[in-house]
């Protein structure tokens, strides 16, 4: 991780560079800010810059022995502490037991959430923790001479996950820091830290990433995705790159029912807005609706019912969006993209009609009425409802 790889955060980078330039690096710093805003990547880019033996004005050189070690996150003077989940109680587990996972994660992307990390440790529903043993390990490591750098750097990710005895030992270290040792704490919830730890650290607030930088980063990472989806996710992420990535991934794991929903609404809209000079479009749309009903009827009863319940969800969410502030929280990115144009057509004049027709269709499918007829009738009712 280099400063140049950081998404946005120009002001923070400038402040960190200035601290090195002026040789005023506080020995304990706390990077606090929303998860996904880049606290951890910033800590690693900063550490790399500090350790680099021939740094440039704005970034590390990338060529020296230290930089090479940073590439693989194996620098012997840089130590990481992070929450772990003990797979069993057969031994004393410490962060070093999970270093391979940690490095793999960082190489893959240093922008990751706590949930991503627990997932990697296959501890989805378990709580991660930084245990008391960790502070003993770090005290021992810091008592040794540094290998090659002028500094020893300890990066603590999510220090709020430290148990109390670990916190107290860390506090002692912060109070009487070993020479040339730098502590970089990265915390999304600094309010959960001991106030005595807070008062021993220089706090740097990492703001949310600006939307334009998130958009650019998403375009680079997901060049296959469509532009509107990327814009929507960048906006919904509210400054968190990990949220933005999650949003795109959700959109890509697309719901199988969105496509038929979009098809029928588009077809019905074309017919509902029929003007005499668009006769051919109308005929095409009618044919498409018949085809749609036939395809729906081939899905099987359970899936047909699932589709109908999904359609009710979509109608409801678009209605809510129409009457409220644009509120997208229950739509994923691809649904939201469709909704951008669709929501004005669901309003108080047709919401009840839509719900009644969809529920009627559900009952008919349940009662084994011919599915082709049910769906074709639904398509015709949709035209009438969109005309209201």
List residues binding Zn ion (CB under 5 A).
52, 60-61, 64, 67
CA pair distance 145, 148, nearest whole angstrom: 9
Question: Which of 54/370 has CB closer to Zn ion?
Answer: 54
Question: Which of 60/230 has CB closer to Zn ion?
Answer: 60
Question: Which of 67/293 has CB closer to Zn ion?
Answer: 67
CA 285-269-354 angle, to 5 degrees, is 115
CB of 43 to Zn ion, least distance (A): 17
Backbone angles phi, psi at 144, to 5 degrees: -85, 160
User: If we measure between CA atoms, which residue out of 386, 115, 108, 379 comes closest to residue 264?
Assistant: 379
CA pair distance 102, 329, nearest whole angstrom: 31
Asked whether the beta carbons of 6 and 45 are under 8 A apart, the reply is yes
CB of 62 to Zn ion, least distance (A): 6
CA pair distance 336, 247, nearest whole angstrom: 11
CB of 46 to Zn ion, least distance (A): 13
CB of 157 to Zn ion, least distance (A): 23
Question: Which of 52/296 has CB closer to Zn ion?
Answer: 52
CB of 67 to Zn ion, least distance (A): 3
Question: Which of 52/138 has CB closer to Zn ion?
Answer: 52
Using CA of residue 180, residue 183, residue 184, residue 190, what is the dihedral sign? negative
Task: Show the tokens assigned to 216.
Answer: 């650019």
CB of 174 to Zn ion, least distance (A): 28
CA pair distance 136, 130, nearest whole angstrom: 12
CA pair distance 308, 311, nearest whole angstrom: 5
Say how many C-beta atoms besides its own lie within 10 A of residue 243's C-beta. Answer: 20
CB of 155 to Zn ion, least distance (A): 18
Question: Which of 64/355 has CB closer to Zn ion?
Answer: 64
Task: Show the tokens assigned to 200.
Answer: 């021993």
Question: Which of 60/206 has CB closer to Zn ion?
Answer: 60
User: If we measure between CA atoms, which residue out of 175, 167, 203 comes closest to residue 81?
Assistant: 167
Q: What is the DSSP letter of 190?
A: G
Strands 28-32 and 78-81: unpaired
């Amino acid at each position: 991780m280099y400063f140049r790889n950081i998404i946005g955060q120009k002001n923070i980078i400038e402040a960190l560079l200035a601290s090195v330039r002026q040789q005023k690096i506080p020995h304990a710093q706390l990077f606090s800010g929303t998860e996904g805003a880049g606290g951890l990547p910033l800590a690693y880019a900063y550490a790399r810059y500090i350790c680099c033996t021939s740094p440039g004005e704005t970034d590390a050189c990338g060529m020296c022995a230290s930089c090479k070690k940073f590439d693989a996150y194996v620098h012997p003077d840089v130590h990481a502490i992070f929450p772990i989940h003990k797979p069993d109680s057969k031994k004393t587990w410490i962060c070093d037991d999970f270093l391979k996972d940690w490095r793999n994660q960082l190489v893959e992307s240093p922008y990751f959430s706590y949930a991503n990390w627990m997932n990697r440790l296959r501890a989805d529903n378990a709580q991660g923790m930084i245990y008391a043993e960790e502070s003993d390990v770090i005290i021992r490591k810091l008592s040794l001479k540094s290998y090659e750098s002028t500094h020893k750097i300890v990066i603590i990710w999510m220090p709020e996950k430290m148990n109390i005895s670990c916190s107290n030992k860390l506090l002692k270290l912060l109070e009487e820091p070993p020479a040339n040792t730098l502590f970089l704490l990265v915390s999304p919830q600094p309010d959960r830290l001991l106030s005595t730890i807070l008062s021993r650290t220089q706090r740097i607030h990492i703001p949310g990433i600006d939307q334009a930088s998130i958009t650019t980063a998403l375009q680079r990472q997901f060049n296959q995705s469509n532009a509107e989806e990327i814009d929507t996710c960048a906006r919904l992420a509210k400054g968190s790159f990990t949220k933005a990535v999650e949003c795109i991934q959700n959109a890509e794991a697309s719901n199988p029912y969105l496509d038929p929903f979009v098809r029928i609404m588009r077809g019905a809209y074309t017919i509902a807005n029929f003007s005499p000079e668009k006769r051919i479009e109308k005929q095409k749309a009618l044919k498409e609706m018949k085809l749609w009903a036939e395809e729906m009827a081939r899905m099987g009863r359970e899936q047909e019912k699932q589709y109908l319940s999904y359609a009710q969800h979509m109608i409801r969410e678009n209605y809510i969006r129409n009457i409220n502030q644009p509120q997208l929280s229950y739509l994923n990115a691809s649904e939201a993209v469709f909704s951008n144009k669709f929501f004005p057509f669901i309003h108080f004049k047709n919401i009840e009609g839509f719900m009644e027709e969809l529920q009627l269709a559900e009952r008919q499918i349940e009662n084994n009425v011919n599915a082709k007829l049910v769906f074709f009738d639904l398509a015709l009712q949709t035209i009438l409802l969109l005309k209201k």
